[in-house]
Amino acid sequence: MNSQPEPTMYSCVQDPSDIESNRSEDAEIKINESNRIFTTERCQNRYVVLFALVAIGTGVCAAFISLGVQSVSNDLELRFQKKASVLVRAIQATWKDYELAGSWIHETCRSKNNVESEGEKFDICSRKDFGELYEYIVAGGLKFQSIAYVPNVTDHYREVLEAQAASYYSEFYPDMFYFGFIGLEPDPSSESGFAFRGRSQQPFYFPTHLIEPVVGNEY
Instruction: With beta carbons less than 8 A apart as the criterion, state whether 210 and 149 touch.
Output: yes
CA distance 104 to 143: 16
CA distance 69 to 65: 6
pLDDT string in tens for the chain (219-residue length):
445 555 555 444 445 555 555 556 665 666 666 666 656 666 666 677 777 778 887 877 877 787 777 778 888 888 888 899 999 998 898 899 999 999 988 888 876 666 665 556 777 888 888 999 999 999 988 899 999 999 899 998 999 999 999 999 999 999 888 889 988 899 888 888 888 888 999 999 999 889 999 988 876
CA distance 125 to 119: 18
Q: Which of 31, 143, 61, 163 is nearest to 98 (CA)?
A: 143
pLDDT of amino acid 10: 47
CA distance 86 to 35: 75
195 sits in which H/E element = strand 194-198
pLDDT of amino acid 117: 58
CA distance 212 to 149: 9
pLDDT of amino acid 48: 73
Coil, strand or helix: which one is 150?
coil
Q: 0.75 cut: is pTM over it?
A: no
Q: How many CA atoms lie within 13 A of 182 on its CB side?
A: 12
